[in-house]
Amino acid sequence: MNKFVGYKCSLCGQKYRRDQVIYTCPADGGNLNVILDYEAIKDKYHPDDITCRTETSLWRYLPLLPVSSPGGEETPLYAVGWTPTYSLPTIAEKLGVNNLWLKDESRNPTASFKDRASAILVARAKEIGAEVIVTASTGNAGAALAGMAAAMGQKAVIFAPKSAPVAKVAQLLIFGAQVMLVDGTYDDAVALAVKAANEFGWYCRNTGYNPFTAEGKKTAAFEIWEWSLEALGESDNPLAIFVSVGDGNIISGIHKGFKDLTELGWLKQMPRIFGVQAEGSAAIANAFNAGTEKITPISATTTADSISVDMPSDGVRALRAATETNGHYVLVKDEAIIAAIAELGKVGVFAEPAGAAAYAGVVEAISKGLLHPDDPILVLNTGSGLKDVNAALKAVVEAPIIAPTLEAVKNNL
């Protein structure tokens, strides 16, 4: 069954056949939504056909994806997704809420949420016969592409700003990608990746720019849907999902997943989606607060490099993820993000700054009265703290150096 039938522009609504376009709308540059044949899917599958599967990766949702299986079932490509969700009762009690969970995307093969998009992009590249995949990244998306491409023997080229954390650059190199550090911002790297793709005929994975990135990220929504069937039961209050936002593609991808489930008639209640941005990188939140869909670029500065973006590539759809679900956008200070790293560490979760920002957003939302104590809340940790150890060290007191004696131990207890 050919589930993927075409695209629809998120701005002008123009529809295209699957063979007419590759990246964005030719009319206005709007991000394209992948259109699936929902009626055909409904005719062939029911929710039980998905939930009974034993596959423990995002490929369990193959009937709802616009790609075919890439093969290579024993590669890291088949370890992407199906990440754990933890209950956080200690923190919930401290915050005055009844139910708080965290979905830990650091358990993906390259330790971030971005593996989801890259797994689908590698599968798509195989289908269309692309020899080289290129992307711009602050580190995580590039590492994800480099790792997934390596798993399939695919060539990858990564442009990252020279300010990218050393640990993330090390991943790119270890996975064998051709890495070029750009003397400029992330936005400069994005523009360069598009130019290089056009010049050399490479397949561009850039976040949002390629419609299939959201198709990979929507798989997190499918997992949350499955988990919630048991965890939430017949709760009257919709799930509140907190997502850190930079380019906006993760939050828009999650929204797309829930909209797919709605089209299929499988979703009982649309979750409320909350976008969290750092105060120094708030282009989408600024538009939300102004009540407009016009995204105005800013000069981004934040400790959370993964969400530091001047002009979000998927801003409008990211905005709609909140406005169309009765959600909200909240802003957090860098100091709150650093504090959140330490707070999550106390319950056994090591989050990078962008992941910790989502938890900081919960704290901020509660302080502003945006949540009720009975609201079920889910935080998305998008990446491992090992991605940015320097930021993590700001959250803790430096370990003392002591003499190798019991007396020294006693003095430091």
Burial class (CB in 10 A: 0-12, 13-18, 19+), 2: exposed
CATH of 77-109+214-393, one of 3.40.50.1100, 3.30.750.200, 3.60.10.10, 3.40.50.10140: 3.40.50.1100
Q: What are the structure tokens assigned to 58, written together?
A: 């995002």
User: What DSSP state is assigned to residue 346?
Assistant: T
Note the pLDDT of residue 257: 98
Note the pLDDT of residue 164: 86
CA distance 211 to 96: 39
CA distance 241 to 86: 14
Note the pLDDT of residue 275: 98
Q: What is the pLDDT along the chain (413 residues), one digit of tens a residue?
A: 679 999 999 999 999 999 999 999 999 999 999 999 999 999 999 999 999 999 999 999 999 999 998 887 889 999 999 999 999 999 999 999 999 999 999 999 999 999 999 999 999 999 999 999 999 988 889 999 999 999 999 999 999 999 888 888 899 999 999 999 999 998 899 999 999 999 999 999 999 999 999 999 999 999 999 999 999 987 789 999 999 999 999 999 999 999 999 999 999 999 999 999 999 999 999 999 999 999 999 999 999 988 999 999 999 999 999 999 999 999 999 999 999 999 999 999 999 999 999 999 999 999 999 999 999 999 999 999 998 888 888 999 999 999 999 999 999 99
Please report where in the chains the tokens 């992307």 appear, as a residue: 135
Instruction: Give the angle 357-360-364 at the CA atoms, nearest 5°.
Output: 135
pTM of the model as a whole: 0.95
CA distance 387 to 365: 27
